[in-house]
Chains A and B, each alone.
Chain A
């Protein structure tokens, strides 16, 4: 059984100097939400150098396209990353979704400007702040996110400092 190891994935991303912003369920949990999530979601800066760093960071965990039959000729290398944008991956440390763009964002730098720097597990990383996390969820417009948006809004009421 593959264990979900967001800590290991985050540490590898940081050690490889990947430029990324933590979003999604793990970001929400980090901010205080009590809700399970089964994958790590990040937005990465789309530069040639960062695509290489991202490929390097995930290589030890053998990333593969999620829900695709095994044995397809897929390699998550710098060229693959640069030629694509968003990837939903399964790895030996759990599932990770890497996005170059998500609904509700304008640029990567805009997400960084709406993030806080967290020092966790020996890393310093950007975690999207609550307001922007809510914006992204609303922009995605998925009925399945309604409950999570409600929880995020209540979290905002409980802790306006976020």
Chain B
């Protein structure tokens, strides 16, 4: 597994980590919470759009 991990390490975007390290721990958690809820809302909207699209095609 270590060899595979080494390969993945090469592709890690350090700019994202460096941006987070400039935040306080509290702000990092808040950023995560906002980000995740944004994604969940997008998924919900997509699901709703798909359902409405399915109804429109009936």
Contacts and interface: CB of A to CB of B under 8 A. Distances in A.
B37 interface: yes
Contacts of A4: 33, 36-37, 40
Contacts, number: 85
Interface residues of A, number: 33
Contact of A150 (B5, B16, B30): B5
User: Number of contact residues on B: which range applies?
Assistant: 20 to 34
A131 interface: no
8 contacts: A3-B40, A4-B36, A150-B5, A150-B6, A151-B12, A153-B9, A154-B17, A155-B17
Interface of B: 1, 4-6, 8-9, 11-14, 16-21, 25-26, 28-33, 35-37, 39-41, 44
